[in-house]
Amino acid sequence: MSEANQLEAALTRDAMLSLKSPAARSLVPALVSILKKPVVAETRRLAVEALALIGDPVAVEHLIGALGIPDVHEQAAIALGSLDPGWITSSAAKMRFRR
């Protein structure tokens, strides 16, 4: 791995670890808004991953909504499983999947 690639990997790792700090919860509203905007799929995917790493329960409702976004529905399901294994019984899930 080149020195530039090692630096990029280290910076990415550090950035992802910083999302686990309590201060990162302030980013949740901005990340949630990304899910609702017409942005490139990679940006939405990164927002979903960041919400999962931050771990704020507020994100559950929005990630349930993201299950309907084709380019991130798989990542949203994984994020939901890591945030709240019982998410499927939440009121937001019941509203989303009401028949």
Q: What is the pLDDT of residues 22-75, one digit of tens each?
A: 888 888 898 898 888 888 888 888 889 889 888 888 888 899 889 888 989 899
pTM of the entire structure? 0.74
Q: Which domain holds residue 37?
A: 3-96
Contact by Cβ (8 Å): 59, 89? no
Residues 6+ apart with CB under 8 A from 48: 35, 63, 66, 72, 75, 76, 79
The CA distance from 63 to 83, in Å, is 10
The CA distance from 12 to 92, in Å, is 32
Nearest to 83 by CA among 31, 34, 14: 31
Number of helices (H) and strands (E), helices first, in the chain?
A: 6, 0
What is the arithmetic mean of pLDDT over 73-82?
Answer: 89
Tell me the residue type at 18: S
Domain tally for the chain? Answer: 1
